[in-house]
Amino acid sequence: MSILSSTLYFVAGFIIAFIFPRLPGILITRGKGFNTNFPPHPEPIPLSPYLTQRILHMRMFYWLGLVVSIVPLAFGLVSVRWGNVPFGFGLWISSGWFLLSRLQVFIGGPKPPWTLEMAERIQLVINESKSDSKCCEYPSPSWMLSGIYCISCEKKLDDLFRPDLGRKRSDGFLMGTIRLLSTDGYPMFDADFNKKETRIDDSEE
Does 16 fall in a domain? yes
CA atoms within 13 A on the CB side of 107: 5
Does 158 fall in a domain? no
Does 199 fall in a domain? no
Please name the residues in contact with 179: beta carbons below 8 A apart, sequence gap of 6 or more.
169, 171
In terms of phi and psi (left: phi > 0; alpha: psi -120 to 50; beta: otherwise), the region of 40 is beta
**What pLDDT, on a 0 to 100 scale, did the predictor assign at position 141?**
94
Query: How many structural domains are present in the chain?
Result: 1
User: Which residue type sits at 178?
Assistant: I
> What is the total residue count of the chain?
205
Does 197 fall in a domain? no
> Can you name the residues that pair with 147 across neighbouring β-strands?
144
Does 117 fall in a domain? no
SS3 154: coil
CA distances from 127 to 119, 123, 134 (A): 12, 6, 9
Kindly calculate the radius of gyration of the chain based on its CA atoms and give it in whole angstroms.
Answer: 20
Mean pLDDT by 10 residues, the chain (205 residues): 87 94 86 85 92 94 92 92 91 93 86 94 93 89 93 92 90 85 83 51 50
Does 142 fall in a domain? no
Does 85 fall in a domain? yes
Does 68 fall in a domain? yes
Domain region containing 32: 3-36+58-107
Distance CA 128, CA 26 (A): 32
**What pLDDT, on a 0 to 100 scale, did the predictor assign at position 203?**
46
